[in-house]
Amino acid sequence: MSHTETLTPDARGVARAAELLAQGGLVAFPTETVYGLGADARNDAAVARIFEAKGRPRFNPLIVHLPDLDAARAIADFPPEAERLADAFWPGPLTLVLPLRAGAGISPLATAGLDTVAIRVPENPLARDLLRAFGGPVVGPSANPSGKVSPTEAGHVLEGLGGRIAAVLDGGRCPVGVESTIVGFDGAPTLLRPGGLPAEAIEACLGAPLAAHQGMTLNAPGQLSSHYAPGAGVRLEVTAPEADELWLGFGPGCAGAALNLSENGDLVEAAANLFHHLRALDAMAVEGQTIAVAPVPDHGLGRAINDRLRRAAAPRP
Ligand code: TXA
Ligand code: MG
pTM of the full predicted structure? 0.93
User: 11-22 and 125-134 helices cross at what angle (nearest 10)?
Assistant: 50
pLDDT digits (tens, 9 = 90+) for 30-46: 999 999 999 999 999 99
166 near 5, Cβ under 8 Å? yes
Q: What is the pLDDT of residue 225?
A: 61
| CB atoms near residue 139 (< 10 Å) | 27
Helix%, strand%, coil% for the chain, nearest 5: 30, 20, 50
- CA dist 218 to 54, 112, 140, 141, 214, Å? 18, 10, 17, 15, 10
Could you list the beta-strand ranges (E) of the chain: 5-7, 27-29, 36-40, 63-65, 94-99, 116-120, 138-139, 167-169, 181-184, 190-193, 211-212, 233-235, 246-249, 259-260, 290-293
pLDDT digits (tens, 9 = 90+) for 203-257: 999 999 999 876 544 444 444 467 888 889 999 999 999 999 999 999 999 999 9
pLDDT digits (tens, 9 = 90+) for 44-64: 999 999 999 999 866 789 999
Q: Looking at residues 284-298, what average pLDDT do you find?
A: 96
User: 199-206 and 80-89 helices cross at what angle (nearest 10)?
Assistant: 120
Using alpha carbons only, give the angle 9, 10, 13 rounded to the nearest 5 degrees.
75
| Cα 187 to ligand 2 centre (Å) | 26
Average pLDDT, the chain: 93
- β-bridge partners, 96: 119, 183
Q: How far apart are the first and last CA of the chain?
A: 27
Its CATH class, for the domain covering 5-222, is: alpha beta
Ligand 1 pocket residue status of 4, Cβ below 6 Å: no
Domain boundaries, the chain: 5-222, 233-313
| Cα 135 to ligand 2 centre (Å) | 24
| Cα 141 to ligand 2 centre (Å) | 6
pLDDT digits (tens, 9 = 90+) for 154-200: 999 999 999 999 999 999 999 999 999 999 999 899 999 999 999 99
- CA dist 83 to 91, 93, 115, 282, Å? 13, 15, 19, 41
As a three-state string, the secondary structure of 209-273 is CCEECCCCCCCCCCCCCCCCECCCEEECCCCCCCCCCEEEECCCCCCCCCEECCCCCCHHHHHHH
pLDDT digits (tens, 9 = 90+) for 65-81: 999 999 999 999 999 99
* Domain 5-222 matches domain 233-313 at the CATH topology level: no
The DSSP symbol for 64 reads E
Q: Architecture of domain 233-313 in CATH?
A: 3-Layer(aba) Sandwich (3.40)
Q: What is the pLDDT of residue 309?
A: 96
Q: How far apart are CA 76 and CA 159, in angstroms?
A: 35
Ligand 1 pocket residue status of 273, Cβ below 6 Å: no
Ligand 1 atom 10 nearest Cα = 141
